[in-house]
Chain A
Amino acid sequence: MQDIIDQLAHAIREAASHKTCLRIRGGGTKDFYGGPLRGESLSTTAYRGVIDYEPTELVVIARAGTPLPELEAVLREKGQMLAFEPPHFGSSATLGGAIAAGLSGPRRAYAGAVRDFMLGVRMVDGKGSDLRFGGRVMKNVAGYDISRLMAGSLGTLGVILEASLKTLPLPAAEFTLRREQTQAEAIALMNEWAGKPLPLSATCHTGGFLYVRLSGAVAAVRAAREKLGGEEVTDGTTFWRELRDQRLDFFTLPEPLWRLSIKSTAAALDLPGEQIIEWGGALRWVRTIADAQTIREAAARCGGHAALFRGGDKTTGVFHPLPPVMMRLHQRLKQAFDPAGILNPGRMYEGL
């Protein structure tokens, strides 16, 4: 396996010396995500496999090219999971890609984001150096928290080689219910419930229904189920997987798909098109033909930001524009990791 690392590091050093761009790629399931793809593809898929898994310790260390389904199967066998429920968008999705994209699934609002489960990374930076940050312990304050900075950095700071992640036990019981509810009612309920000791693990409003997943001890799930009422969704697991991987009908609509991350209590957004609400109200998927500025302003008014997730016109940028002082700070950070600026340039922002 070391030879694969050597090859990756070599390719990076070569690219740095010639100032040619590289685009880091795992399974390619998120090629659609972010800015334009530039440069020669640098694949991580050969560097795969679980390195160390200590179920009793709730820690797994795996190589970046490990397909997510494979990793999750290994965990499931020991009754555990990645609690941030990463979207796959395809069976070839890799762990490295999931971390670099920084996307989390339905459980995120109740269990935490990718970064919250990152205990350490091994990576090759833009100079071709093989580096390790953090490790496998639950708490580590020895210096800057680089492993968490890598989550969501979209491959612009380095090639993730390995990650050590905290795992969690699969809940003993899981139950999905739904109630017919308007958007406004759903937002109010999601927020009201979030402040109660309920074993919520996912919420979603779509097609006039509020879906709720309860996870935890058998007794707690049963009690909550009685409290919340509604009807049982028999194939709950499928519903949440289709939501996570964007296979519900909503995601096949033709309009551009926007992802708005806003404060959970924000009222139903007044934008044309259809919407799905997730994460207790904090995540809004919007299929809309509204222009970018209108959408970004709507997000900003609700204390958040908007990203053009799929389709649409990417020429004005995909992610929420950064104020100049923030952009400069980003460039400085990028400089520290990738001084030649060869790793995934423009995937997050132009000039980065």
Chain B
Amino acid sequence: MNQPVSSRKPFPAELLAALMAKFGDRVSTGAAILEQHGKDESAHPHAPPDAVVFPETTAEVALIVKLCGKHGIPVIAFGAGSSLEGHVLAIYGGVSIDLTRMNKVLAVHAEDQDVTVEAGVTRKQLNQHLRDTGLFFPIDPGADATLGGMAATRASGTNAVRYGTMSENVMGLTVVLADGRIIHTGGRSRKSAAGYDLTRLFVGSEGTLGLITEVTLRLHTLPEAVSAAVCAFPSVDAAVRAVIQTIQLGVPIARCELLDATTIGAVNLYSGLELREAPMLFCEFHGTTASVAEQAETVQTIARELGGMDFEWATKQEDRTRLWQARHDAYLACRRLRPNNRAFSTDVCVPISRLAECIAETYDDIAMASMPVALFGHVGDGNFHLVILLDPDHPEEADLADALNRRVVMRALEMGGTCTGEHGIGIGKIEFMNEEHGDAVSVMAAIKKSLDPGNLLNPGKIIPA
């Protein structure tokens, strides 16, 4: 794990006093709070900020940014802290802006099928709020992340194969820029607003170009019928081939997830399921009753031809919820496989036509690894993860994991893929930016520089030094 070289400025007492004067007990320098805001769900070494502020309005966020700007102190947006590449670590110190108190659903427009929320609203909170409207918001990263954080990381989840990622589902944003000015991008008209599509620029910028305080999202109609199924396969290869054939036939499958035998073992233990410990696909179909039946039939036929067995249906809402919660908890479940571990997750995405080959070669790597490695992912998108479990008492394992990650990434790049399909760059994948993008990184750096000349917005992330 690459240790970032960080240089911290001493935190100006004057700035702290100004923040205290304005925010009172909504500023914290308590050790526990700092610690909590200096880590995410990754194995990167913690880097706490100097202070944490809990704003409640866009104007307050702008004020914090201006105050910090005056002193040349970095600001780091903080949502649920569920990111996996060290995105929120305060590697240069500074102020963590915790947006979780901005947790209001501002306006649901059921007829227009959109909603505007404050950045701190979580995806589960939103769907809870929408429960009587016949609408839902499909994007579901494993963690109950904030919608601001999800926009900032261009997150996706198990539904992306059908409903897209944050990139396709964010219609507009309210953003506080580096100089504290507030802008509104996009809007409620479905076409992007006049001018450049700035929404697309801020979505996925990981807090390095601006702080998102409000998000307008596209909602989707709850399907008339939903049906989920699990199916075991004789090999990961057979399962992957089933997915590829499904996608290539144009079946509008809503979810299509692969869990390998190691992951299934972990999930059984963690979520109390009794699935056969074999590579499995978790699928879900959305549509009219007739189309769901048709899709399910097609996929079942494909699966059978590839040796699929134990096809089990979950048509009741509670069974489906249990199944998908278990899938979402796969990362946490895998972490239980080894006591006191540090977990390291890879995140490559490859063209679907290379997926079977990519996963097969990855298994050769896994076979040589001395530590437990589980594989699962959103295979319908060509995206999969390895969860590598490290024993902190054996530091050499970290090097082995690094080497494994590098091999997986290089293979993905060679196959026309990316080093990260959904987790993002943070600090963890910075080393691959040049390899993946070449000269294009300099344009990203130029954009960063022109929008944040003082390099105060989440410095040290995305753009290589």
Chain A residues within 8 Å of B, Cβ to Cβ:
54, 56-59, 102, 108-109, 112-113, 115-116, 125, 129-133, 135-146, 148-149, 151-153, 157, 168-169, 191, 194-197, 217, 219-220, 223, 261-265, 279, 282-283, 302-305, 307, 319-323, 325-326, 329-330, 332-333, 335-337, 348-349
Contacts and interface: CB of A to CB of B under 8 A. Distances in A.
B447 A336 contact: yes
Contacts of A320: 193-194
B353 A145 contact: no
A157 B450 CA distance: 14
A151 B197 contact: yes
Contact of B437 (A133, A136, A319, A336): A133
Given A57-B353, A132-B438, A194-B113, A143 B189 contact: no
Contacts of B436: 142
Given A138-B352, A139-B383, 8 more contacts: A54-B351, A116-B164, A142-B424, A217-B294, A282-B191, A304-B187, A326-B198, A329-B183
A113 B192 CA distance: 9
Contacts of B250: 168-169
Given A142-B419, A143-B433, A145-B167, A322 B349 contact: no
B351 A137 contact: yes
A306 to B, nearest CB: 9
B420 to A, nearest CB: 5
Contact of A333 (B419, B447, B462): B447
Contact of B192 (A152, A302, A330): A152
Contact of B433 (A142, A283, A319): A142
Contacts of B118: none
Interface residues of B, number: 88
Contact of A148 (B135, B197, B432): B197
B108 to A, nearest CB: 13
A329 B287 CA distance: 42
Contact of A146 (B153, B223, B440): B440
Nearest to A103: B191
Contact of A325 (B181, B353, B418): B181
A287 B112 CA distance: 25
B112 A264 contact: yes
B183 A305 contact: no
Contacts of B451: 329, 332-333
Given A125-B443, A336-B450, A263 B189 contact: yes
Given A142-B433, A195-B221, A264-B112, A322 B443 contact: no
A140 B203 CA distance: 12
B200 A322 contact: no
Contacts of A144: 201, 204-205, 209, 444, 447, 462
In the A-B complex, the 3 residue pairs with the smallest Cβ-Cβ separation, listed nearest first, are A304-B189, A320-B194, A169-B250
Interface string B440-465: 11111011011100000000001100
A302 B109 CA distance: 13
Contacts of A137: 349-351, 381-383, 416-418, 421
Contacts of A54: 351, 353
14 contacts: A56-B352, A57-B248, A58-B248, A112-B164, A137-B351, A139-B418, A142-B420, A145-B203, A152-B196, A223-B290, A262-B189, A264-B112, A305-B187, A337-B446
Nearest to B187: A303
B197 A56 contact: no
B160 interface: yes
Given A59-B351, A319-B195, A146 B443 contact: yes
A70 B24 CA distance: 65
Contact of B167 (A148, A220, A325, A336): A148
Given A115-B192, A115-B197, A142 B290 contact: no
Nearest to A172: B250
A205 B283 CA distance: 39
Contacts of B200: 115, 145, 148-149, 151
Contacts of A149: 196-197, 200-201
Contact of A138 (B113, B381, B439): B381
Given A137-B351, A191-B111, A335 B450 contact: yes
B196 A330 contact: yes
Contacts of B291: 217, 219-220
Nearest to A302: B189
A113 B191 contact: yes
B177 interface: yes
Given A59-B351, A138-B352, A305-B189, A133 B440 contact: yes
B189 A116 contact: no
A96 to B, nearest CB: 17
Contacts of B383: 137-139
B406 to A, nearest CB: 15
Contact of B248 (A56, A153, A319): A56
B444 A58 contact: no
B440 A132 contact: yes
B382 A141 contact: no
Interface in B104-153: 109-113, 134-135, 153
A214 B265 CA distance: 45
Given A141-B422, A220-B291, A135 B416 contact: yes
B189 A140 contact: no
Contacts of A349: 195
A57 B195 contact: no
Nearest to A317: B194
A19 to B, nearest CB: 19
A207 B109 CA distance: 30
A323 to B, nearest CB: 8
A299 B182 CA distance: 22
B224 interface: yes
A307 B450 CA distance: 28
B227 interface: no
A179 B204 CA distance: 43
B44 interface: no
A322 B417 contact: no
B327 interface: no
Given A194-B113, A304-B189, A336 B446 contact: yes
B46 interface: no
A195 B353 contact: no
A282 B197 contact: no
Contacts of A191: 111-112
A283 B350 CA distance: 36
A305 B194 CA distance: 7
B22 interface: no
Interface string B158-177: 00110011011000000001
Given A56-B353, A195-B113, A333-B196, A129 B439 contact: yes
Contacts of B462: 143-144
